[in-house]
Amino acid sequence: MTEQHLATTVSTPDGPFSLIVSKGSLLASGFSDDLAALNTLIHPSLRQPIDQLQQVAAGSDDSRLAPVLSALSDYYDGDLSAPQRVAVRQQSGEFRMLAWDVLRTVPAGQCISYTEYAQRANRPAAVRAAASACAMNAAALFVPCHRVRRSDGSLGGFRYGLAIKRSLLEREGFLPTA
């Protein structure tokens, strides 16, 4: 029997943050309270229908959510490496899976360009594919796609908006605070 996925939304300094977990791993997370939209980011082989998600109230002490919520809280309390301690499970093709693993090696306080990202993923000519891996990342913050910028130094895109991307990078000490 498949374990029921758990979902919750909590408040952060950057707004509502939702997450979906199953079997001790984070499947999806993002700066939104729209669990249905977040659920669609999960690969179909891992996804459960939205009406089957067990929604847990914010502030719950459900032990199955505790590691992810603790890492999120620790991140906002200044332990910027806390999200790296959370197991993340995403599914896709070989390149995208490798690309997501590569993102998890970019430490807080650093950014890489899409070109460098493609090089680190062993496909230097695949800059667009690297950008696509960022765009398809279901586990925002825990797979830190916000740490990738354009070659000209501009922020590029971010599913949850450039204001949140800028806030995360400022928090991590990459961008000066305004």
Give the residue numbers marked as catalytic.
145
**CA 31, 101, 48, 44 torsion-angle sign:** positive
Give the burial string for 2-36 (b: 16+ CB within 10 Å, else e).
eeebbbbbbeeebeebbbbbbeeebbbbbbbeebe
Smallest CA-to-CA distance from 140 within 35, 32, 59 is with 32
